[in-house]
Amino acid sequence: MELNLRDKRYYSIGEVADAFGVNTSLIRFWEKEFDGIKPKKNAKGDRRFTPEDVQQLKRIYELVKERGFTLEGAKTELKNNKKTYKKNEEIVRKLESIKQQLIYLKNSLK
């Protein structure tokens, strides 16, 4: 799943919900159900999600919505495969960086 979020320090719950194509109520529900999501709240009480929160939500979305896990199953999967997810995210980041470098080289050859 490719998210359409710009690189920012914090995202509103509306931005996060729109990126996943779900209601804000589902994001709030997942926040209560899963320990790894701890958005900061401003003085008005508005949630501000960090990129780490968004990555955790992405994992939850993939497990529950795309792979059909139950909530309990998703919690277990996240707990058991925390290191694997971190390693995979690092690999993806490195590959994306290499891709950007290759695109730059290709464009400079034109």
pLDDT of residue 48: 95
pLDDT in tens, 1-56: 556 566 788 999 999 999 999 999 999 999 999 988 999 998 999 999 999 899 89
Q: Domain of 77: which CATH number?
A: 1.10.1660.10
Averaged pLDDT for residues 55-67: 93
Per-residue confidence (pLDDT) for residue 7, from 0 to 100: 77
| Domain residue limits at 57 | 11-109
Model confidence band, residue 89 (pLDDT cutoffs 50, 70, 90): confident
Is the residue at 31 inside a domain?
Answer: yes
Decide: pTM greater than 0.75: no
What is the CB neighbour count within 10 angstroms for residue 28? 15
Quick one: DSSP state of residue 27? Answer: H
| Residues 16 and 49: beta-carbon distance below 8 Å | yes
